[in-house]
Amino acid sequence: MLPSLAPWSSAFTSAVASELESEPFVPFSFSNVGEHGIPHTRTCVFRGFLFNDTRTNVLLFTCDKRSAKFKDLIKNSNFEACFYFHKARKQFRFSGAARVITNERYPIIDLSNLSTISNSEDKLCESEIKLNDDDLVVEQENDFYSIGLGKVGIDEPLMYKIVSPSQAQNMNVSTLSLADLNIPIHAPTEEEWKAERQRCWNDLSRSLKRSFKRPPPGSLLTSEKYTLLDSINRGVDGTSSGQENFVVVCMFVKAVDLVELTGGVDKRYLYKKSYDIDVWKEYEVCP
């Protein structure tokens, strides 16, 4: 079976497109936990979907390898990201596990339970959480957000249906014949991860690329560093491109909380991804 859009994806991409009609970029709040258990929130910029393909359901942003944010993610990859779209009057809260693409790291995708293309319907695994319509607050039910996130290290293999871009392209050309042959699906190769990092780098503006040449974020500003910053801004520093410090952060979404402010009866939906098969469950809840 081909990777498919999550049930929240269309509403999200539509809201992004609407926002970009009048804004140069889409900002969002990104939260993770530091090594001492203290939460940290930053404003980041949405950089699209992994492999420029909405069917991956994986959201991207970029950061500096020397930043505290990156160092925190190395030890604890759990995250929450919150988008609010003024035009669409919708808020999306995404929870899941982050992975990074650097010059030496890339996500390890485990497709052991998704190794073949099948025309049969996916079945929910026994470990899938059971929700009911009692007075229980669904979003606070045991493990709604955290199930499957016990292994939080950023280098841990991740069970997520991400297919090699080259194979996905072939699927688009001849989906039926591949399905008939029951051909195994393959995770992206190291070369494809490197190509994705290069694609994201190429999409950056010249001024943003220069920011990765600056001294380490958060380091004390000395006279020498001030002089270097001035040289970088004027493009006469003569240093490297800064790409060695460039990180693509991949947000592998596991749960979504969508609130729609209609001006009348507001609506709210929760989406939960199974952790070992490519299945999403949708729940409409009280706002």
Considering only residues 151 and 14, tell me which one the structure prediction assigns the higher pLDDT: 14
pLDDT digits (tens, 9 = 90+) for 155-173: 999 888 899 999 888 776 5
Please state the pTM of the whole predicted model. 0.88
The pLDDT confidence band at residue 119, using thresholds 50, 70 and 90, is: very low
Domains in the chain: ranges and CATH: 9-285 (2.30.110.10)
- Report phi then psi at 157, rounded to 5: -60, 145
12: Cβ contacts below 8 Å, ≥ 6 apart? 83, 92
Instruction: Compute the distance between CA of residue 88 and CA of residue 102 in angstroms, rounded to an integer.
Output: 34
pLDDT digits (tens, 9 = 90+) for 1-54: 556 789 999 999 999 999 999 999 999 999 999 888 899 999 999 999 999 999
pLDDT digits (tens, 9 = 90+) for 76-108: 999 999 999 999 999 999 999 999 999 999 999
Considering only residues 127 and 169, tell me which one the structure prediction assigns the higher pLDDT: 169
Identify the pLDDT of residue 182.
63
Instruction: Compute the distance between CA of residue 60 and CA of residue 88 in angstroms, rounded to an integer.
Output: 21
Identify the pLDDT of residue 237.
82
Identify the pLDDT of residue 123.
43
